[in-house]
Amino acid sequence: MFNQQTQMFFLFFIITLLSICDIFAWNDSSLEQEQSLRLAPNLNNGIKVYEVCSACHMPEGWGVPDGTYPQISGQHQNVLIKQLTDIRQLNRDNPSMYPFALPEEIGGSQAIADVTAYIEKLPMLNENGIGSGKNLELGKKLYHKHCSECHGKNGEGNNEKFYPRIHGQHYNYLVRQFEWIQSGKRRNANPEMIKQIKNFSQNDTEAVLDYVSRLLTPKEKTVDKNWRNPDFD
């Protein structure tokens, strides 16, 4: 028979284990995600696959300043793979993108590896949609308290940990995704982020995302608005 101290230890161990599992459940990798992460990409095929994506995200991958479609150029490949496979597995709701992300439309795991590697190499644009600029000091304070640990001091994210780049992203898109994460509509969100933002007011949300929208992309990854993707000339 276990004594009371041993029973309490095992109870604590089980609770801790369940908590750890819950933290990592947001990124439960499907077989397709695991395969795509391991495969060596073919950039030439990535160009062909990206033709489907370019209709909305634009040939340069800059999306639309009004936030209808996000800037995806320069995004970490691991992040792109996760989001694309989550949409295909219905772990992230995106009805407008879902039909174009299906295997019969763009291909299987190899196609995902190819197109995400291609998108990651596309240069970024700093002239993205921004907020009103009314409360940037509050936004900066909130960002560095709640967001920078994961997304980085300048919004650079982390490829290995699946944290996206958010610098250069359109303000309206950031607001929409933030609100969906806060409400639970975006089901594949990191639970740590949900905890960080659960008490944000509308004013807090607008301030921090206005600040984020003004974070500059790295010079070595950035071009001006006159650049055109030579692969689609």
> Tokens representing 99?
């039909």
Nearest-angstrom CA–CA distance, 60 and 223: 10
Radius of gyration (C-alpha) of the chain in whole angstroms: 19
Report which secondary-structure segment, H or E, holds 125: strand 124-125
Tell me how many helices (H) and strands (E) the chain has: 12, 2
What pLDDT score does 9 carry? Answer: 46
pLDDT single digits (tens) 28-73: 668 999 999 999 999 999 999 999 999 999 999 999 999 999 999 9
Place of tokens 């407008």: 96
Q: Looking at the predicted structure, is the pLDDT value of residue 22 above 50? A: no
What pLDDT score does 17 carry? Answer: 39
Nearest-angstrom CA–CA distance, 108 and 111: 5
Candidate from 18-32, 139-153, 202-216 with smallest mean pLDDT: 18-32
Nearest-angstrom CA–CA distance, 140 and 85: 33
What pLDDT score does 233 carry? Answer: 86
What pLDDT score does 40 carry? Answer: 98
What pLDDT score does 21 carry? Answer: 41
Q: Looking at the predicted structure, is the pLDDT value of residue 4 above 80? A: no
Nearest to 62 by CA among 48, 72, 75: 72
Q: Helix, strand or coil for residue 232?
A: helix
pLDDT single digits (tens) 67-125: 999 999 999 999 999 999 999 999 999 999 999 999 999 999 999 999 999 999 999 99
Whether residue 152 contacts residue 158, with contact meaning beta carbons closer than 8 Å, is answered with yes
Task: Count the helix, strand and coil residues of the chain and give each as a percent rounded to the nearest 5.
Answer: 55, 5, 40
- pLDDT, mean over the chain: 91
pLDDT single digits (tens) 127-142: 999 999 999 999 999 9
Nearest-angstrom CA–CA distance, 35 and 120: 18
Domain edges within the chain:
25-232
Q: What is the pTM of this model?
A: 0.88
Higher pLDDT, 192 or 4: 192
The correct answer on CATH 3.40.50.620 for the domain covering 25-232 is no
Residue 167 to residues 67, 123, 170, 201, 232, Cα–Cα distance (Å): 14, 13, 9, 22, 25
Nearest to 36 by CA among 92, 99, 78, 89: 78
